[in-house]
Amino acid sequence: SEDFNISGQTVTAGIDYSWSAVGYIGYVFGLDKRNLIKLGAGYNSFHVFAESQGIKDSDSTGDVRTFVGYERAFVGNWNLRLEANYIKVEGSDGSMATIGLAYQF
């Protein structure tokens, strides 16, 4: 959470929790079949709150999420993952890129 000063009043606001559900399709390619390009879409939901002078309010909101990604299987069951995400929530939108490691069981 963060504190904001609005007209001399301190307001604390933040996100209590968020969740998402996404699905994707992908295409495996390369001579060794260790590359994957994928496209996906889904839904994101956020539960937000604000509090000032003992008064607290909260709301849930959500909207569309889309992404494109690439994975490369490189050693045993380990994959390197790159992803670009677009997220829209009630008229506001944003994007983010992620990189990570994944282990396949």
Q: Please answer whether residues 73 and 79 qualify as being in contact, where contact means their C-beta atoms are separated by less than 8 angstroms.
A: yes
pLDDT tens-place string over residues 21-77: 999 999 999 999 999 999 999 998 888 899 998 888 988 888 889 999 999 998 889
Task: Give the global pTM.
Answer: 0.66
pLDDT tens-place string over residues 73-86: 988 899 999 999 99
Tokens of 12: 């604390």
Task: Report d(CA 98, CA 40) in Å as an integer.
Answer: 14
